[in-house]
Structure formats: structure tokens, C-alpha cells
Amino acid sequence: MTSESGKQYVCVNCGSPARELIKKYSNTIKPTNCCKCNQLIDKYIEVEEFIILIDALLLDSAAFRHMIFNGNFKLYWKISLVVLLLESFALCRQKRGDGSNTALYEKGFYMCTLQSIGEYLLITLLLLFISALLNLRQMNKVGHEAVTLIILKVVAISNFSKFFLLPILVWRSNTTDFGQKLHYMLVTGHHLCSLIMAYSVVGISNRNLRCLTAILVIFAFAIKEYVRYLASFKIELYLS
């Protein structure tokens, strides 16, 4: 389950633990097969990160497992920062679309950034609570620090859905208010699906409780969105 370097691997197809992703011979390196499903443990080990990111946006569970367990997550942390700024800019522009007051617009951007960071932390705490509620024994076995890191990765990956906010930022003046609201609803729906998918593949919760897990994740997402609504209302009052 753990390599010589202490890295924990899993099969991206079935989620079974794996000791290694590749086997080194004298002059060649060969990907290993999973003992349970007999498929390649990780088909993404020689794939560009851009392709993996696209598969993640397409809600491919194999891509999620690779990113969380087998891959180097440093690049995805950087992408998460870009997504955070993109989301904050979209939220700020939605509140102060004209940007006539530069100082107020800049202050609103900083407040929206703090709001987005708070949302990230809130959904992380809620998912940690769900993990403890559904399978505290597994959580204690893996370790609280390791579980927290996994949940942070889940939240970061699910937030890649915010990339789809980019079109509405570019063509905002060419659409109606209804079109903007519909676009935000679709992005929110994709974000929720991505969150459920990413959380379900990490294997912290009991597999026999998948439906209950999905319901609890949806409930946590609803709480986060409600807090987001209240925070947005406060920010609008402050900026008005």
C-alpha cells in the first residue's frame, strides 16, 4: 500500500491499494497491473497534466484517483490558486459590474477573495465531519492529518469546475441576465457533481453507504451555498 518513499498508491480503476505503479527492469520500465481488476494500476503516469485536468473536468473517477493519490499535486495547488482568483473576480464583477469606482472595486475583490477562501475552509470542515460521522474508525486508521490533506485535495479538484466561469466573464456583455444566472447554475451543478464524485473515490466513507454519503455531501454543499448567500448579501450592503 505504501512505497519505499512512503507514498500511498491506489489503482485508478477500482481503488484497490497498490505497492508500486511501475516495475524497473535492467533497461526498461513497465507499468504494473492491478491484482484485483487486472488493468493498469495508473494509466495516467505518462500522460500530460493538461489531459488529466480535462478528464477531471469530465468527471472521470480514474483521473480523480490519480490526482489525489498517485500524482504530484503541486501543480494542482497552483491551479487551485488561479481558480480562486478567477472565482473571486467573477463574484466581484457580478456585484460591481461597472467598475467605475476603482478603489471600491479593488476592495470588493479582496473581500470576495476572503469569502472564497472561507467557503473552501467551510466545505473542508463539513466533509471532515461527514467522514467522521460515516467511518470514524477508518479515519483514525488513516490518520487525521492524512484525511485532512485528502479532503483539501478533494475540495481543490472539485473547484476546478469554476474554470467554466471564464466564458461568462469574457462574453458577459453579450448575454442577458437570465443567461448569466443559467450559466452560474450550470457551473454550480457541475461543481456539486464534481465534489460528490471526488469525495466518493477517496474511500474514506463506507462503500455500502454511497447513497447516504451523496446525500450528506449535497447537504454540506447546500449549507456552504447558504453561507455564501449570506456573505454575499453582507458584501453587497458594504459596497453599496
Grid coordinates representing 51 are: 489531459
pLDDT at 2: 39
pLDDT digits (tens, 9 = 90+) for 128-140: 999 888 887 778 8
pLDDT at 95: 65
Same domain? For 98 and 33 the reply is no
What average pLDDT score do residues 6-11 get?
78
pLDDT at 100: 52
Same domain? For 18 and 116 the reply is no
Residue 3 confidence (pLDDT) above 70: no
What average pLDDT score do residues 100-113 get?
72
pLDDT digits (tens, 9 = 90+) for 50-105: 999 999 999 999 999 999 999 888 999 999 999 998 888 887 777 665 555 565 56
The rounded distance, in Å, linking the Cα atoms of 190 and 184 is 10
The rounded distance, in Å, linking the Cα atoms of 168 and 147 is 35
Same domain? For 15 and 90 the reply is no
Same domain? For 90 and 197 the reply is yes
Grid coordinates representing 194 are: 464534481
The rounded distance, in Å, linking the Cα atoms of 156 and 124 is 10
The rounded distance, in Å, linking the Cα atoms of 170 and 130 is 37
Same domain? For 74 and 55 the reply is yes
pLDDT at 233: 78
Partnered with residue 33 across adjacent β-strands are 40
Mean confidence (pLDDT) of the chain: 84
Same domain? For 104 and 23 the reply is no
Same domain? For 206 and 229 the reply is yes
The rounded distance, in Å, linking the Cα atoms of 152 and 127 is 9
- Alpha-carbon Rg for the chain, nearest whole angstrom, is 20
The rounded distance, in Å, linking the Cα atoms of 88 and 108 is 9
Looking only at the bridges linking them, the beta strands covering 22-24 and 29-31 are antiparallel
Same domain? For 25 and 119 the reply is no
Domain span at 68? 49-239
pLDDT at 1: 37
Same domain? For 167 and 186 the reply is yes
pLDDT at 5: 46
Same domain? For 96 and 28 the reply is no
Please measure the distance between the N-terminal and C-terminal CA atoms of the chain and give it in whole angstroms. Answer: 55
Same domain? For 169 and 207 the reply is yes
pLDDT at 219: 95
Residue 14 confidence (pLDDT) above 80: yes
Same domain? For 27 and 110 the reply is no
pLDDT at 105: 66
**Percent of the chain, pLDDT > 90?**
40
Please state the domain count of the chain: 2
Highest mean pLDDT among 78-82, 104-108, 109-113: 78-82
pLDDT class of 239 with cuts at 50, 70, 90: low
Highest mean pLDDT among 33-37, 177-181, 182-186, 218-222: 218-222
Q: Among all chains, which residue has been given the C-alpha cell 480523480?
A: 64
The rounded distance, in Å, linking the Cα atoms of 76 and 138 is 26
